[in-house]
């Protein structure tokens, strides 16, 4: 797929950069057709030098709004309303807006654009975007077409894997994959410490844990087996793995993980009110 028209970014921070990196890798658009605004001059220079994209001061965002048919809103959620109100006169019916701001509903974006009927899509990516392995959920906002969703899928598949979901699931997505990297890191850290506890040095423990996690994920993704079946493959009767699994389950490990995701989902709902 090739993206039609130019692609703009309002906000050239970490997530904006990850998207630029991924998009350029897939060659669905060239660097010359990407425009970014950011208030920090060193950031603009860095993006222009590293990726050869066109960068502008945030006060000159009219270049982006007049030059780009698709614009990704990659600013912090706290300033989203201010940014939209400020750009209201420059956003028109021909724009496709794609917001990645956590917790900002498409209805709120629409409500801040009273003078136009542009199409809106909301996306929830996660931090593995920085290594082009994000898990992203996309939802239709007002007026977004099937073609718009395909455009957004092409963009977000360039930084990992993306699926389309109804917006009513976005609090669950926030609790599961949005917060998910933190749960994984919280498992990785004590695994490394456990390696030390049983006598390994730190660098050996780190390598063994990281490669075990990476390899297990790759195995689970490549296999058609249920995770329980993959676990059974390493669990022999009276063996070492069942001794370790017994400790995890005695402490309620599965329930704790489910409670964590549920608590994060509830918190996302509260913050969205």
Asked if 13 touches ligand NAP (CB under 6 A), the answer is yes
* Sheet strand arrangement including 119-124: 54-56, 34-37, 6-10, 68-73, 96-99, 119-124, 134-140, 160-164
Question: 19 or 205, CB closer to ligand NAP?
Answer: 19
Interior CA angle at 78 toward 74 and 82, to 5°?
80
Write down the least CB distance from residue 109 to ligand NAP, Å.
12
Asked if 195 touches ligand NAP (CB under 6 A), the answer is no
Number of chain residues interacting with ligand NAP (CB under 6 A): 27
Asked if 98 touches ligand NAP (CB under 6 A), the answer is no
Question: 46 or 200, CB closer to ligand NAP?
Answer: 46
- Binding test (CB under 6 A) with ligand NAP, winner from 1, 4, 25, 40: 40
- Decide: 160 and 136 in contact? Cβ < 8 Å: yes
Write down the least CB distance from residue 155 to ligand NAP, Å.
14
- Binding test (CB under 6 A) with ligand NAP, winner from 37, 54, 179, 265: 37
User: Which range touches ligand NAP (CB under 6 A), out of 20-28, 35-43, 113-121, 224-232?
Assistant: 35-43
Task: List the one residue out of 94, 82, 163 whose CA is nearest residue 126.
Answer: 163
Task: For residue 97, give both structure tokens.
Answer: 């807006």
CA distances 61 to 6, 34, 67, 68, Å, are: 14, 13, 10, 11
- Binding test (CB under 6 A) with ligand NAP, winner from 21, 26, 127, 216: 127
Asked if 52 touches ligand NAP (CB under 6 A), the answer is no
Rg of the chain taking only CA atoms, in angstroms: 22
Question: 39 or 239, CB closer to ligand NAP?
Answer: 39
Asked if 58 touches ligand NAP (CB under 6 A), the answer is yes
Asked if 76 touches ligand NAP (CB under 6 A), the answer is yes
- Binding test (CB under 6 A) with ligand NAP, winner from 10, 137, 139, 172: 10
Asked if 38 touches ligand NAP (CB under 6 A), the answer is yes
Task: List the one residue out of 59, 62, 38, 58 whose CA is nearest residue 48.
Answer: 38
Binders of ligand NAP among 129-188, rule CB under 6 A? 178
Asked if 102 touches ligand NAP (CB under 6 A), the answer is yes
Asked if 106 touches ligand NAP (CB under 6 A), the answer is no
196 vs 248: CA distance, rounded Å: 19
Asked if 14 touches ligand NAP (CB under 6 A), the answer is yes
Binding site for ligand NAP (CB under 6 A): 10-16, 37-40, 43, 58, 74-77, 79, 83, 100-102, 124-127, 178
């Amino acid at each position: 797929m090739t993206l039609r028209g130019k692609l703009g970014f309002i906000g050239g921070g970490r997530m904006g950069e990850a998207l630029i990196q991924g998009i350029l890798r897939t060659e669905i658009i060239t660097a010359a057709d990407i425009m970014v605004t950011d208030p920090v001059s060193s950031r603009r220079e860095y993006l222009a030098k590293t990726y050869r994209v066109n960068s502008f001061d945030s006060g000159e965002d009219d270049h982006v709004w007049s030059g780009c048919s698709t614009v990704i809103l990659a600013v912090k959620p706290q300033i989203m309303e201010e940014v939209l109100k400020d750009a209201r006169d420059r956003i028109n019916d021909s724009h496709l807006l794609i917001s990645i701001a956590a917790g900002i509903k498409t209805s709120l974006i629409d409500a801040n654009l009273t003078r136009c009927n542009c199409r809106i899509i909301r996306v929830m990516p996660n931090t593995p975007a920085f290594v082009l392995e994000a898990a992203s959920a996309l939802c239709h906002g007002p007026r977004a077409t099937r073609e718009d969703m395909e455009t957004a899928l092409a963009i977000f598949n360039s930084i990992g894997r993306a699926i389309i979901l109804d917006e009513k699931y976005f609090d669950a997505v926030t609790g599961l994959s949005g917060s998910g990297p933190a749960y994984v890191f919280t498992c990785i850290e004590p695994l490394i410490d456990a390696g030390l506890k049983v006598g390994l040095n730190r660098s050996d423990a780190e390598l063994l844990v990281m490669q075990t996690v990476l390899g297990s994920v790759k195995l689970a993704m490549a296999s058609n087996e249920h995770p329980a079946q993959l676990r059974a493959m390493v669990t022999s009767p009276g063996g070492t793995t069942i001794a370790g699994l017994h400790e995890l389950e005695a402490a309620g490990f599965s329930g704790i993980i489910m409670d964590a995701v549920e608590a994060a989902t509830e918190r996302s709902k509260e913050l969205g009110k």
